[in-house]
Amino acid sequence: MPTDLRLKNDLLKRQGIGAALASVSGAVALAPDGDRIVVDKLQDNAIAAHGTGVTLIPSAFGRPHLVVVHAPGWQPVVQYPVAEASPSEPVSLETVTRRLEALAHPVRLRLLRTLARGPHTTGELAHAWELSSPEVSRHLAVLRRAGLLTTRRQGRYVRYTVNLPDLTALGADLLAAVLR
């Protein structure tokens, strides 16, 4: 039996159907009445699977999307992404929103473009863009709170660098947050 199925079966035995369904995807849950499986997808539809059951298919394709297929007379099928070797929590909609809002300001975009070329201090950025150091500092703080920058202290200076992994994942994170 593949590892993912063993983990799901073990979870089903130890914690029940609700936990097993939640492990399939954040979009799958057991309804509070315990009588229905609810899949949070863009399309609204309801099907009865009494007697026929539901087929769950783990798949390495289509990550991170959950696919639900049903046709009249056929058993419902839920294709879900298998767990990654090092599972990571999906980025929350709040984090994606904070990052998009941070990028919505033209000064912050200019600063980010400069930082993409290499680490800079607040003073260097202020000089390059003819801005005051406090103004640059405020913009850098917004970008840092959004997780788009990292810092490293060198003596009395702080050098800012673009957090490339999180910045490059922003498009995929947005899509995943919208489609969850």
pLDDT in tens, the chain (180 residues): 455 666 666 766 777 777 777 777 777 777 777 777 777 765 666 666 667 777 778 877 766 677 777 777 777 777 777 765 544 677 888 899 999 999 999 999 999 999 988 999 999 999 999 999 999 999 999 999 999 999 999 999 999 999 988 898 898 888 888 876
The predicted structure's pLDDT at residue 68: 77
Distance (Å, whole) CA 54 – CA 70: 10
At 137 the pLDDT is 96
Q: For the chain, which residues make up each domain, given as ranges?
A: 3-81, 93-168
Across 70-156, where does the E strand assignment appear? 77-81, 149-154
* Amino acid residing at 163: N
| Predicted TM-score (pTM) of this structure | 0.52
Second-level CATH architecture of 93-168: Orthogonal Bundle (1.10)
Question: So what's the pLDDT on residue 84?
Answer: 57
For residue 73, the model assigns a pLDDT of: 76
- pLDDT at residue number 144: 96
**Distance (Å) of CA 83 to CA 7, 29, 136:** 10, 17, 41
- Please say whether the beta carbons of 125 and 136 come within 8 A: yes
The mean pLDDT value of the chain amounts to 81
pLDDT for 87 equals: 44
Q: Percent of the chain at pLDDT above 70?
A: 79
pLDDT, tens only, 83-107? 655 446 778 888 999 999 999 999 9
Q: How far apart are CA 165 and CA 177, in angstroms?
A: 17
